[in-house]
Structure 1
Amino acid sequence: MKLNSSYARSSEFTSGRLQLPRRSQFAGRCRGLVVVVWLMLASMSANAQKPNVLVILTDDQGWGDLSLNGNTNLSTPNIDQLAADGASFERFYVCPVCSPTRAEFLTGRYHPRGGVYSTSAGGERLDLDEVTIGDTFKAGGYRTAAFGKWHNGMQYPYHPNGRGFDEFYGFCSGHWGNYWNPMLEHNGEIVKGNGFIIDDLTDHAIDFMKADSEEPFFVYLPYNTPHSPMQVPDRWWNKFKDAELKLHNREPKKEDVPHIRAALAMCENVDWNVGRLLKILDETGKADNTIVVYFCDNGPNGVRWNGGMKGRKGSTDEGGVRSPCLIRWPIIIPRGQRVRINGAAIDLYPTLANMAGLKRVNGKPLDGIDLSMAIYGHHRGNDDRIIVSHWRNRVSAKSGRFRMDTDGKLFDIHADGGQTKNVSSQHPTTAAQLKTAIKDYRANVLAGYDDDQRPFVIAHPDYPVTQIPARDGKAHGGIKRSNRFPNSSFFTNWTNTDDSITWDAEVLADGNYEVEIYYTCPAGDEGSEIELSFNDSKLRGTVAKAHPSKLVGAAEDRVERAESYEQNWTSIKLGKIAFDAGQGTLTLKAVKVPGKTVMDFRLLMLRHKKD
C-alpha cells in the first residue's frame, strides 16, 4: 500500500532560537523561498523563537457546519477568519467517530495500530507503547496542556498526564451527561465545573495561554460539542429554536429539525469561544507567533446539510470522514492559502512538530507525513497518496480526487460528492490501486486489532489517584446499567448480596490506597455494608448516609437525549486497602442490605497513601 506522498517533505528540524521575520517581509512570489531559508536558519540556530501552538478539535461537527463552507443556516465568523488569515485544506480527512480520530492526531498513526477499536469500556485506550504529540512537544521545551474530552484512556498512564500533557482539565470519557457545572477532573482529582462546559474549558485554556513563562505553550483543546446531549445556553438557542432552515440534507425527509437547530446553536457557541481565544492571543501579543489549528473529529451527528456528500458520523463515505482543517500562523503562512492536496489527522503530528522546529520523540513509523511545505504554499508532484478510512469493518480509501467505498465502488469525489456513479471501469488503474490498498490495510493493520487482552490499570506508583468508573465495569446479578451507551453511565437496581460489579484489573506495584465511592442512595435505604476486594485484599465499609437525587439533564436538554441522564453524586470514604502487584478481578459487592437498594454507583476512586 502506498502511504508515502510524492510531495517534497521538509526535514525535521531541531529546536533553536532565532528572531522571526515580520509578516510584511513575506510578500509575492518570494515568500516560499524566504520561509524555507528561515526554517533552515532556525534549524541551525540555538536561539530560534519557538511558536506557540493551539489545536482546537470539535466533537461531531461536520464539514458543512461552518459558514466558511457555504452553510447559510448559521454564522461562524471567528472560525471563518482563521481560513482568511491562514491556510485551509480543501480536502482533509479524519475518522468516522471520536476516539479513533483523537488517537490518529496524537500519534500520527492509523488508530488500529494503537489498539483503539471502540469508543468505550476500554476499547478507546491508546496503547502505552505509542508516542504522542504531547510527548514530543514536552520534550521540546513546551508547556503542555489538554482541556476537554480526552477519550483515549482514563487510568494512568493512559491518562493525558501520562501522555505528555502536564495539565489536564476535562473528562476522559467518550461523552458527558451534563454540560452545566458538571463533575469534571483536574489532573486526576474530581472537581466541579463552572457554568457551561465549553465556556469553562475555554476559560482554562485562556488562563494557561496567558501565564507568564519563557516556555512556549502547546494547548490541545478538544471541545465536546455539538455531541449530544444537546445542551446550549439560551443566548445561542434563542436564535435557533424557531429558525427556518435555508439549506437541507440530500435526504431532507430524514432531517430531525429540532436536533439540527440545537447542533447549529452549539456550533455558534463554539465559534464565540474561538473568538475569545483569538482575542486573548491578540491582547497578549502572542498572535503572530502562535500556530492555531482547527478541525473536527468526524462527520455530523445528524442528517443535516453537508454539501451534498454521502455519509455522516459513523460512515466511511466522504461525508463521514471529511473535516475542515484550518491553520493560521501569521508570520509564516500566507493569508487565504488554499491547500489543494489531501491531508488527514495522521499528518498533524509530523507537520506541527516540523513547523515548531522539533525533533520527533523516537517512536514507531508514522502513517502521516509532514505537509508544512504544502501549507506554506510550496509543493510538487501528484496527489496520489492513499489515505485509508476505517470503522467497524468498513474500509474506504482516498487518492487524489477518487474514493473507493467499502463495497469496492470507485467515485470521482470532486465531481460526485454524493457517490452516485461508479467510475471503476473508466479508471481501472486507480481502482486496482485502491482495492489493493484496502486489502493490505485489512491484512496488515486490522488483523487482530480488536482482540483486547489489556486489563484496567487500577493503581500506578507514579500517579496519586485512579478513577474506576461504572463505564468500565461489568454488572452481575440484578444490577443494570443506566443506559446502553456506557460512557457517562451509572449502575442502578443494586438490591441484594448476590449482585456485584467487577473490573478486570492490574495493580502495577504493591501499595496502600484510600478508597472513595461516588454514589446516590434514597432516604431510608442507607446502612448497606459493602465490600471491595482484589485477590487476597478486602475492605468493608458502610453506606452510612443517604443521598437521594433525581435524574439530572432533562430540563437542560433542547431535544430528548439517547444517552444516560446524570445524578447529583456525593462521595464516601470507605477506608484503606493494601494491594499486592498483579492481575486479578476487582469486585464491589454488598454483604448486608437493610433497605430496598444498596446505592446507584458512579465512580470508584483510589488514592495512593505513602504511609
Structure 2
Amino acid sequence: MRFHKTFCVLTGLFCFVLALASTAMGESKPNIVFILVDDLGHADVGFNGSTYYETPNIDALARGGLVIENAYMYPTCSPSRTALATGKQSFRTGVYTVPVLEKGDDQQNIFSRWTVGAEHTMYSQPLADAGYKSIHLGKWHLVGPYPKEELAMEFPLKEKLQQPDPWDFSWVPYHKEHCRQYYPEGRGYLKNIGGTYRGDPALEVGGYKGETGGYFAPFSNPFIEPKPDDKWLTDRLTDEAIGFMGEHQEHPFFINLHYYTVHRPIRGRSEELVQKYMNKPGDPITGQGTSEGRNKEREAQYATMIESLDDNVGRIVEFLDKNGLRNNTLILFTSDNGQNVGRNDQLRGKKGYIYEGGIRVPTCVNWPGKIDARRTSNAVTCLDYFPTFMDLAGIEYDGVLDGHSITGLFQGEPESLQTRPLFWHLASCNKHGTCSVIRKNHHKLIQFLADGKLELYDLKNDPREERNLAVENPEQTQVLLKELVEWRKANDVPLPPGSVLR
C-alpha cells in the first residue's frame, strides 16, 4: 500500500513537471493581438510599396512575418466587421453594408441589418470559454442605435435603418442599461473601451466638422472615461491595450485593438507633422502626396494619422519585447476595407466598391519562430480569421463558419488554400448595384444582380481591372458563373426582389 501511494505521488509529480516543461517549450495558448485599422488602403503602408507614408514599425512586423498580398474584406466596414466577428458570410447575418449608406428602394435592395443578433456567436466567446482574457478597444459597429427595436422588425425591411445625429446622446442610457448583450462585455470581453454603434469617433456637435473630430481630447465618446493626460485617441487606445496586457500577462490574452484611425474626419496629429508631409515629395506610382492646394494639405494630415498609427504599433511591440511576451504572441495587422481618403493609382476603386481598391487590404501576421518570413500570393478572406483564432487556441468549434484556418500558411502553401474559391454577396446598393462575386485562382467574376451583367478580370495580368474579359473569354466566364450560381443555390442566398436572376 505504501509503495502504491509513493508511486502515485511520484507519477503525479512527473506529470506536473512534464506540464511545466511543455508550457516552457511554447505549447501554452499564444497571446493574440488583433490590430484592425479603419479604411487603411492596400498601398498605405511601406511594406506594400508606399514611399510617401511612413510606417517603419508596421514594416518591421511585415519583414519578420507573413505578408498576405491578396487579403480581402468587404467593401465597407459593417459587413467586414460582422464577417470577422462571426466567421459568417453576409447572407447569413443580413449585414450587407452600412445601413445609412444604402441607395434605392426595397426592390433594389435587401436593406442591411445593423445589429448582430445573439444567435451569431463571435470569436471572443469561445476564446473566453477557453480561458482567454480579452479586451475590445476602439470601433465596434456591430450594434445599431436601436437594437431591440431593429431586431423586432419584420425582415426584409421596407426602408433602410437610420441613426441619430452625432451630437445626439439620447441613446446612451438605453445602451448602457439595456443593451449590454450587444456590446463587447456581452460577447466574452472583460472590457470595452470606446466601442459604440457609431462607425467614426466624431460624436460631437458638428460631427465631421467639429473641432476635435473625436480624435483630440476631450473625447466625446461615452464609452471612454476621460483621463487628465488624454491628448490623442489613437494613443489612448494603445495605453489601454498596454495596461490590459500588463494586468493579464500571466494568462493568455486577446487584444481586439480596432483603431478608429484612419477613418474620417481627417485630423493632423500636429502642425509640425503636417508641415513635414507638405514638404515631402509625392509618390508618382501610387499618386500619394501628389495633389495640390487643399487636397495636398488633406493628404498631409492623413499621412500624420498613419504615422501616429505606426508609432502606436511600435509601442505595442516594445511592450511585448520588454515583458518577455513577444515569442508567445501572434500579431495580426489588417484593415476593414480599402482606402477612402487615401489614394492608390495601382488599383481600381476604393471604399464601397467591389473592385480591388475597395476590398484588397494590407495584411501581415507576425509570430517569432512560428511563421516563415515571406510574402504569399494565396488569397485570404476576413472569414478566415475566426477559424484561425480557434486553431491557435486549440478550440474545437462546431458552429457554422464560412472561412478556413490559415495557420497552414505560417510555414507552407497548402494546396487547399491555393485552389479554393472566395465569394462575396452584396444585396444592398452603395457605390454600385447589388452583386455576387467569385474569385478563384487569379480570376474574378462579378455578376450584377439587377440585370445579370457580368464582368471578368484577370487579376494577375490586369490588377487595375481595366479589361472586362466576360465576352472575350466566354469559357472561363461560364465556368466561374456556374460555380457562383451553384454556391448561391446551395446556400439559399437571397436576391433583391427586383433582380432578374432566379
Deviation digits for residues 419-476 of structure 1, max 9, x if unmatched?
12233456545422432344456664652799xxxxxxxxxxxxxxxxxxxxxxxxxx
Cα distance between partner residues in 2 of 1:258 and 1:449 = 42
SS at match of 1:90: strand
Q: Contact 2:133–2:251 at 8 Å: present in 1 too?
A: yes
* Amino acid across the alignment from 1:162: G
Deviation digits for residues 498-519 of structure 1, max 9, x if unmatched?
xxxxxxxxxxxxxxxxxxxxxx
SS at match of 1:232: coil
Cα distance between partner residues in 2 of 1:95 and 1:445 = 20
Q: How large is the RMSD of aligned CA atoms in angstroms?
A: 2.8
Q: 2:265 aligns with which of 229, 238, 243?
A: 229
| Residues 175/112 of structure 1: CA separation in 2 closer, same or farther (3 Å cut) | farther
Corresponding position of 1:506: none
SS at match of 1:184: coil
Cα distance between partner residues in 2 of 1:236 and 1:435 = 49
Which aligned pairs between 1:379-528 and structure 2 lie closer than 5 A? 379-380=414-415, 383-391=418-426, 392=429, 393-406=434-447, 407-424=453-470, 427-440=473-486, 444=491, 446-447=493-494
Corresponding position of 1:152: 142
| Residues 415/158 of structure 1: CA separation in 2 closer, same or farther (3 Å cut) | same
Q: Contact 1:137–1:353 at 8 Å: present in 2 too?
A: yes
Corresponding position of 1:480: none
Corresponding position of 1:317: 355
Corresponding position of 1:295: 334
* Amino acid across the alignment from 1:432: Q
Deviation digits for residues 111-165 of structure 1, max 9, x if unmatched?
3312323425793221220111101210111001110000101633111111221
Q: 1:86 aligns with which of 65, 68, 75?
A: 65
* Amino acid across the alignment from 2:370: I
| Residues 303/326 of structure 1: CA separation in 2 closer, same or farther (3 Å cut) | closer
SS at match of 2:136: strand
Q: How far did residue 84 of structure 1 move?
A: 1.2
Q: How far did residue 370 of structure 1 move?
A: 1.2
Q: Contact 1:386–1:434 at 8 Å: present in 2 too?
A: no
SS at match of 2:354: coil
Corresponding position of 1:170: 194
1:338 to 2:338 alignment: no
Q: How far did residue 17 of structure 1 move?
A: 7.7
Cα distance between partner residues in 2 of 1:332 and 1:382 = 19
Cα distance between partner residues in 2 of 1:449 and 1:269 = 42
Q: How far did residue 107 of structure 1 move?
A: 1.2
SS at match of 2:464: coil
Which aligned pairs between 1:252-331 and structure 2 lie closer than 5 A? 256-302=295-341, 304-305=343-344, 308-331=346-369
Corresponding position of 1:192: 226
Q: How far did residue 204 of structure 1 move?
A: 0.3
Q: How far did residue 291 of structure 1 move?
A: 0.5
* Amino acid across the alignment from 1:130: H
SS at match of 1:405: strand
Corresponding position of 2:252: 216
Corresponding position of 1:51: 30
Deviation digits for residues 204-223 of structure 1, max 9, x if unmatched?
00101111553210110011
Cα distance between partner residues in 1 of 2:249 and 2:126 = 19
Cα distance between partner residues in 1 of 2:338 and 2:353 = 8
Q: How far did residue 368 of structure 1 move?
A: 0.4
Higher helix share: 2
| Residues 169/381 of structure 1: CA separation in 2 closer, same or farther (3 Å cut) | closer
Q: Contact 2:339–2:350 at 8 Å: present in 1 too?
A: yes
SS at match of 1:64: coil
- What TM-score results when the alignment is normalised by the length of structure 2? 0.74
Q: Contact 2:41–2:342 at 8 Å: present in 1 too?
A: no
* Amino acid across the alignment from 1:329: W
Question: Which sections of structure 2, spanning at least 5 residues, go unmatched?
Answer: 1-18, 101-111, 145-178, 203-213, 448-452, 498-502
Cα distance between partner residues in 1 of 2:351 and 2:322 = 37
Question: How many matched pairs?
Answer: 404
Larger radius of gyration: 1
Identify which range, 387-396 or 281-290, moves more after superposition.
Answer: 387-396
Cα distance between partner residues in 2 of 1:213 and 1:329 = 17
| Residues 118/420 of structure 1: CA separation in 2 closer, same or farther (3 Å cut) | closer
Cα distance between partner residues in 2 of 1:90 and 1:437 = 24
* Amino acid across the alignment from 1:88: V
SS at match of 2:334: strand
Deviation digits for residues 253-291 of structure 1, max 9, x if unmatched?
999433322222211111110000000000110000101
Q: How far did residue 390 of structure 1 move?
A: 4.1
Corresponding position of 1:374: 409
Q: 1:354 aligns with which of 377, 387, 391?
A: 391
| Residues 231/440 of structure 1: CA separation in 2 closer, same or farther (3 Å cut) | farther
Deviation digits for residues 169-192 of structure 1, max 9, x if unmatched?
013111121211212344xxx633
* Amino acid across the alignment from 1:330: P
Question: Which sections of structure 1, spanning at least 5 residues, go unmatched?
Answer: 1-15, 23-41, 43-47, 451-611
| Residues 340/20 of structure 1: CA separation in 2 closer, same or farther (3 Å cut) | farther
Deviation digits for residues 279-321 of structure 1, max 9, x if unmatched?
0000110000101000001110036125x11110000011110
Which aligned pairs between 1:127-142 and structure 2 lie closer than 5 A? 127-142=117-132
SS at match of 1:57: strand
Q: Contact 2:337–2:351 at 8 Å: present in 1 too?
A: yes
* Amino acid across the alignment from 1:241: M
* Amino acid across the alignment from 2:264: S
Runs of 4 or more above 4 Å deviation:
248-255, 425-429, 440-446
Give the structure, 1 or 2, with the largest relative contact order (CA under 8 Å, sep 6 or more): 2
Higher strand share: 1
SS at match of 1:374: helix
* Amino acid across the alignment from 2:225: V
Q: 1:69 aligns with which of 36, 41, 48?
A: 48
Q: State the identity %.
A: 28
Q: Contact 2:43–2:286 at 8 Å: present in 1 too?
A: no
Corresponding position of 2:96: 117
